Amino acid sequence: MILADEPSGAGNLNSLLPILGERKTEHLNRAMLFDTLSVCLSLPLTDISVYYHPASSRKKFKMDFDLFVHEEDDRLAKSKVNNITLLPQNTASIPERSSMALSESFRSGYERVIVIGTNCLTLNKTIIKAGFLLLRKNHVVIGPSFNGKYYLLGMSRHIPQAFKGIDWGSQDVYVRLRSNLKNPKIKVQELELSYMVNTIDELNQLICDIECWRKVGENRTAFHTEKFLRTLNR
């Protein structure tokens, strides 16, 4: 499952507005959404749902999916876009959105569910596959981020108390989440530490990482975001 904010807005990138301006920040937000879709659509035998906010933005998401098909060069990903389920959410709180999406998925019969956002560009299909594999023997899988939050959260059953008292705007999201999951009956496994792009420093880190990926022949990761970043030098 992907938690996504309206593509035509700044999303999680509000701190970049004074630096990039409104238009370029929106384009960056859209490019990161496209890269997230590209990764998820490359996964075999995986159902994808996009839980979008605000609830009134369905038409804008559909338009952006059409644009994704035009810009994406992976034929398999392009062919699977129409299989994505779009589901509205009224709350902007990431913990609440995560809990609601997980609850709905388990009620629909899914046994292993992973929730991600759209601003972790180091996230690839290998990491997501690892998350699903770990959920076979664990109740929770967490991808911790350097800013004290999480870039991935997977569960093999809904654990609503996991989100109790979590304020996404704070620096102790991960600490509170682990505390809420401290129970001998709940098995938790962590993935590698990574970062999400919210600030100019994190964007600069991504630019460095993209350069390194290309040097070693990894040309797919952050493909759409790299294409946008090239326009900043024009």
CATH classification number, 2-231, choose in 3.40.220.10, 3.20.20.140, 3.40.640.10, 3.90.550.10: 3.90.550.10
For 67-114, the pLDDT digits (tens) are 999 999 999 999 999 999 999 999 889 999 999 999 999 999 999 999
Burial of 231 (0-12, 13-18, 19+ CB in 10 A): exposed
* Tokens 């075999």, residue located: 44
pLDDT tens column, 49-80: 999 999 999 999 999 999 999 999 999 999 99
Q: Please list, in sequence order, all residues whose beta carbon lies within 8 angstroms of the beta carbon of residue 184, skipping any fewer than 6 positions away.
A: none
Collapsing DSSP to helix, strand or coil, 119 comes out as: coil
Phi then psi for 85, rounded to 5 degrees? -95, 125
For the chain, the domains span 2-231
β-strands 140-144, 150-155: how paired? antiparallel
Using CA atoms, how far residue 233 sits from 97, 119, 218, in Å, is 36, 22, 22
User: Does position 161 have pLDDT exceeding 90, yes or no?
Assistant: yes
Q: Alpha helix locations (H) across 108-149?
A: 125-134
The whole-number pLDDT of residue 9 equals 66
Going by the DSSP 8-state scheme, the letter that residue 140 receives in this structure is E
Return mean pLDDT, the chain.
94
Give me the residue label for tokens 């180091």. 122
pTM of the model: 0.95
